[in-house]
C-alpha cells in the first residue's frame, strides 16, 4: 500500500490534470475493495457480476439454477472468514483420480513410505514432529482455516499446529529465498480467481500424508475461487517438481464456509499421543 500512497502523492506533486487524478483515485478505491474486504464495499467485479445477473434474459432470471454459479456469487474476492475442508482425504491424486506422474525416484520414495505404513512402521514426517506441514500438504488438513485480508497481504491462520501463511499480494518472489517449511507465497487476482504462487520450500515435508515426497525444487500454484454461491472455496493445486514428477500435475481441495467456527488453540507439543520416538511414529 506504500506504493499506492506514493502514486497519489506523485499526482499531487505533478499537475497533470484531473483525468490522471481520477484514474489514481479509481486505482486506490479498487485496491481498497480488494484489500480490505470487510470495511470496504464489494469489489467492482462483484457489482458488475450482480448487475449482469439481474439484467439477464427472463429465462435465466426465472430460474436460479439456470444462472451460472459464478454470476450469483456476492463479493467473489472476499475470502475473509473461517473455512473447513469437509471430511479428510490423506492422499492427493490427480483430478482424474490417478497417482501423480512420478519420476523413478518419486515412485521409489512413495512406495517405500507406503510399504512401511503397511508393515505397521509408519515413517514420521514433519507435522509428527510438530513442525509446519509444508505446502501443499497443509492445504488438505482437516482443521479449520481463518483467512484475514489486510492491505497488501492475505493471512491464512490454520488451526492445525498453528501454521500461518503470509501471502503477499501483487509482488514477485525475492531472489535467494531461504528454504522454509511453508515457503514464500505471492498472489494476484485473475478475474475472481486468486492465484497463489509458492516457492522457497524445503524438502523436509511431504506432498500428502500418505507419502508422496518432494524436493526443494517444488513449486506450487493454487487457483482459488468461490463456488456454491460463495459457500465454498475451490482450490486447484498444481504441483511442479522435476525431481519427483515428470510433469506438473493438479489436485483439488474444497473448503466450506463455517462462520460459526472459531480457530482454537492447537498445541502439538503437549501430550501428543502419537509423538515420535527416535523419529518413528507408532500409533498408541
Partner 1 sequence: MSSLRNGIFATLIAFAVTQAGAASGTSGRTADGKPDFGGVWLVEKPQKEVKTTAGKAPPLKPEAAALYSKRKQAVAAGEDADDPVGLCLPHGVPRLLSAPRPIHILQKPKQITVLYEANHQARMFYLDEPVPSGDNMPDPTFNGASVARWSGDALIVETVAMNDQTWLDDVGLPHSEALKVVERYQFDGADRLRVNITVTDPETFTAPWDMQVVYKKQPGLRFKEDPCSEKFWHPGKESGG
Pairwise CA distance, residues 283 & 264, whole Å:
24
Q: Is 105 left (phi over 0), alpha (psi -120 to 50) or beta?
A: alpha
| Residue 260 interacting with partner 1 (CB under 8 A) | no
Residue in the structure block whose three cell numbers are 505471492? 186
Exposed (0-12), middle (13-18) or buried (19+): which is 163, by Cβ within 10 Å? buried
Minimum Å gap between C-beta 140 and partner 1 is 19
Which whole-number Å values give the CA distances from 65 to 55, 69, 72, in the listed order?
A: 16, 8, 10
Which whole-number Å values give the CA distances from 114 to 101, 107, 118, 137, 168, in the listed order?
A: 17, 10, 6, 16, 36
| Residue 162 interacting with partner 1 (CB under 8 A) | yes
| Residue 80 interacting with partner 1 (CB under 8 A) | yes
Minimum Å gap between C-beta 132 and partner 1 is 6
Minimum Å gap between C-beta 96 and partner 1 is 32
Phi and psi angles of residue 70, each rounded to the nearest 5 degrees, phi first: -65, -25
**Smaller CB distance to partner 1: residue 8 or 103?**
8
**Smaller CB distance to partner 1: residue 141 or 146?**
146
Question: Judged by CB under 8 A, which stretch of 1-9, 68-76, 102-110, 239-247 contacts partner 1?
Answer: 1-9
| Residue 254 interacting with partner 1 (CB under 8 A) | no
Pairwise CA distance, residues 107 & 281, whole Å:
22
Residues engaged in binding partner 1 (CB under 8 A): 1-2, 4-5, 8-9, 11-12, 18, 21-22, 24-25, 28-29, 31-32, 35-36, 38-40, 80, 116, 121-124, 126, 129-132, 146, 148, 150-151, 155, 157, 162-164, 166, 180-182, 204, 262-265, 267-270, 278-281
Amino acid at each position: 500500500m506504500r506504493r499506492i500512497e506514493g502514486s497519489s502523492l506523485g499526482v499531487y506533486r505533478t499537475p497533470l490534470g484531473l483525468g490522471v487524478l481520477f484514474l489514481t483515485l479509481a486505482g486506490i478505491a479498487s485496491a481498497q475493495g480488494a484489500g480490505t474486504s470487510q470495511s470496504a464495499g464489494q469489489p467492482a467485479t462483484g457489482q458488475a457480476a450482480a448487475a449482469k445477473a439481474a439484467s439477464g434474459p427472463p429465462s435465466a432470471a426465472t430460474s436460479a439454477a439456470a444462472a451460472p454459479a459464478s454470476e450469483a456469487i456476492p463479493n467473489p474476492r472476499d475470502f475473509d472468514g473461517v473455512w473447513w475442508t469437509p471430511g479428510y482425504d490423506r492422499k492427493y491424486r490427480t483430478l482424474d483420480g490417478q497417482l501423480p506422474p512420478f519420476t523413478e525416484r518419486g515412485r521409489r520414495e512413495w512406495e517405500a513410505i507406503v510399504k512401511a505404513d503397511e508393515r505397521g512402521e509408519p515413517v514420521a514426517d514433519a507435522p509428527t514432529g510438530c513442525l509446519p506441514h509444508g505446502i501443499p500438504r497443509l492445504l488438505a488438513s482437516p482443521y479449520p482455516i481463518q483467512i484475514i485480508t489486510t492491505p497488501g497481504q492475505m493471512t491464512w491462520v490454520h488451526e492445525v499446529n498453528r501454521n500461518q501463511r503470509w501471502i503477499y499480494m501483487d509482488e514477485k518472489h525475492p531472489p535467494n529465498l531461504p528454504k522454509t517449511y511453508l515457503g514464500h507465497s505471492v498472489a494476484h487476482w485473475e478475474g475472481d480467481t486468486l492465484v497463489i504462487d509458492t516457492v522457497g520450500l524445503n524438502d523436509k515435508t511431504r506432498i500428502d500424508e500418505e507419502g508422496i515426497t518432494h524436493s526443494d525444487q517444488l513449486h506450487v500454484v493454487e487457483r482459488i475461487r468461490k463456488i456454491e454461491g460463495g459457500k465454498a472455496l475451490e482450490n486447484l493445486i498444481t504441483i511442479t517438481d522435476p525431481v519427483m514428477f515428470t510433469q506438473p500435475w493438479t489436485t483439488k481441495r474444497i473448503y466450506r464456509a463455517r462462520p460459526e467456527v472459531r480457530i482454537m488453540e492447537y498445541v502439538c507439543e503437549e501430550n501428543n499421543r502419537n509423538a515420535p520416538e527416535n523419529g518413528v511414529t507408532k500409533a498408541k
